[in-house]
Structure 1
Amino acid sequence: MFRLILSAILSLNVLATASLAAERGPVTNLPLPRFVSMKAAEVNVRRGPSLSHRIDWVYKRRDMPLEITAEYGHWRRVRDRDGAGGWVHYALLSGVRTVIVDQDMLALHKRPEADSNVTARLEMGVIARLGECGIDWCELSADGYRGWADKSALWGVGLDEIRD
């Protein structure tokens, strides 16, 4: 019985390792999904990964965070915070991390503590540059303001993501 259980555990471990390996982009070998931002002020979002595919819509917000869900050659399939997406040429994307504030009048704190001084408040929809992130807090900068915000009020960073 012990050998059967040990064999099952080892099999699950091999499957977990294989699934982790499968969560890497075939082109970049970077994790999938992952967050990036728009480098350009205007980005065509296409139905497929080539210039011959139809443009479904155009993003018009520089620095907007997007989530890459797939890779194909020079193309990345992305989705926005509303779940809409399509294919974008990789040259229009940046590794600079940004987030969208998902809570109106989100408090930016001086330190990553709820009882620390509030340095500013951000309106819902504001795009902020992402800095360090702990378990519950992320450091943000927007429009000359800097502080720490509750991670759960942000789109563009994973809830389990830690950044130094």
Structure 2
Amino acid sequence: MVGRMIKLISKQSLAVMLAGASVAPVQAASDPAFPSWRSLRDPVVNMRVGPGEDYAIRFVYHRQNLPIKVLRLYQGWYLVEDPDGARGWMNARFVNKTPTAILRGKGAVEMHAGPAQGSALLWKLAPGNVGRVGPCQQGWCEFTLEARKGFVPQDRIWGPGAQ
């Protein structure tokens, strides 16, 4: 759905994934640095079932700048969650510190000139578009998509500021 190619997971891969989940020490999600919002640095990035290149590839993402939520860090590998809720491990070198957000829901997302439904309608954006999010207020977030900048409803984004 978000531009990933699904690989089938065998029973052996599932066992490896479960073993990888119990590797210690892992920097816990309760650490103040996590969770954090990031994005994919490269146009092709692998999500693995465990924190290392010896672990099977779970998904291959073909979507540079796709937002991800980083949950943990272990020896240069991030445990991440994608916009569809899938979780796995990515090497930190493929993850940008620059957060992005993806537009969600059914139907067009209206981008307004101000943080209110009554403000001028600038654009109608399609769900799946990825952009940068600015401050959120009163249920609206600043959103920049290429040269377009305005405000979108906060409940239509997945990324920083998401409800």
Task: Please tell me the TM-score bracket, short chain as reference.
Answer: 0.7 to 0.9
Partner amino acid for 2:92? Y
2:70 corresponds to: 68
Q: Find the aligned partners of 1:60 and 1:158 in 2 and give their Cα distance.
A: 24
Alignment of 1:134-145 (within 5 A): 134-145=137-148
Kindly state the Cα deviation for residue 149 of structure 1 after the two structures are TM-superposed: 0.7
Q: Find the aligned partners of 1:22 and 1:87 in 2 and give their Cα distance.
A: 14
Q: TM-score, normalised by structure 1?
A: 0.76
Partner amino acid for 2:50? G
Q: Which runs of 5+ in 2 are unaligned?
A: 1-27
2:99 corresponds to: 97
Q: Which runs of 5+ in 1 are unaligned?
A: 1-20
Calculate the aligned-residue CA RMSD, in Å.
1.7
Partner amino acid for 2:72? A
Q: Secondary structure at the match of 2:143?
A: strand
Is 1:45 aligned to residue 52 of structure 2? no
The number of residues matched between the two structures is: 135
Kindly state the Cα deviation for residue 143 of structure 1 after the two structures are TM-superposed: 2.9
Q: Secondary structure at the match of 2:155?
A: helix
Q: Secondary structure at the match of 1:146?
A: strand
Kindly state the Cα deviation for residue 53 of structure 1 after the two structures are TM-superposed: 1.0
Kindly state the Cα deviation for residue 152 of structure 1 after the two structures are TM-superposed: 0.6
Kindly state the Cα deviation for residue 157 of structure 1 after the two structures are TM-superposed: 2.5
Q: Secondary structure at the match of 2:93?
A: helix
Q: Find the aligned partners of 2:120 and 2:55 in 1 and give their Cα distance.
A: 51
Alignment of 1:8-47 (within 5 A): 23-24=30-31, 30=33, 32-47=34-49
Q: Find the aligned partners of 1:33 and 1:140 in 2 and give their Cα distance.
A: 21
What does the per-residue CA deviation read over 1:38-62, in whole Å, with 9 as the maximum and x for residues that have no partner?
A: 1111111111111111111111100
Q: Secondary structure at the match of 2:52?
A: coil
Asked whether the 8 Å contact 2:29–2:72 carries over to 1, the reply is: no
Q: Find the aligned partners of 1:156 and 1:40 in 2 and give their Cα distance.
A: 18
1:111 corresponds to: 114
Kindly state the Cα deviation for residue 82 of structure 1 after the two structures are TM-superposed: 1.1
Kindly state the Cα deviation for residue 146 of structure 1 after the two structures are TM-superposed: 0.8
Q: Find the aligned partners of 1:97 and 1:50 in 2 and give their Cα distance.
A: 24
Q: Secondary structure at the match of 1:78?
A: strand
Q: Find the aligned partners of 1:74 and 1:135 in 2 and give their Cα distance.
A: 37
Higher relative contact order (CA closer than 8 Å, sequence separation 6+): 2
Q: Find the aligned partners of 1:135 and 1:34 in 2 and give their Cα distance.
A: 22
Percent identical: 30
Partner amino acid for 1:23? S
Kindly state the Cα deviation for residue 114 of structure 1 after the two structures are TM-superposed: 1.3
